[in-house]
Structure 1
Amino acid sequence: MVTQDWLTDAVLYMYALSLLFFVSDAASGNRSARRVGTGLLVFVWVLQGAFLMALLFDRFSVPALTIKDYLFFVSWLLVSASFMLNRLMRADLLVLLVNVVGFAVLALNLIERPKHDAALQPWEVARRLLLVHVGLITIAFAILTVTAVLGLMYLFLHSRLKKKKWTQVMNRMPSLERIDQYAYRAGLIGVPLLLLSLSTGTAALLTEGTAADLMDGKVLLSFAAGIAYVVYLIRRLAGKDDGSKLAGWNLLGYGLLVTGFFANSYSSFHQMI
Structure 2
Amino acid sequence: MFDIMMSRLHEGMIILYAVSILLYFIDFLQQNQKANRFAFWLLSIVWVLQTIFLFLYMIHTKRFPVLTIFEGLYFYAWVLLTLSLVINRLLRVDFTVFFLNIIGFIIMAIHTFAPIQMPTETMSERLISELLFIHITMAILSYVAFSLSFVFSALYLLQYKLLKEKKWGHRLWRLNDLAKLEKMSYVLNLIGVPMLLLSLILGLQWALIKLNHFHWYDSKIIGSFILLIIYGMIIYFHERKNMFGKNLAYLNIAAFLIVLINFFLISRLSAFHFWYS
TM-score by length of structure 2 reads 0.49
TM-score by length of structure 1 reads 0.50
Bigger relative contact order (CA 8 A; separation at least 6):
1
Higher Cα Rg, which structure = 2
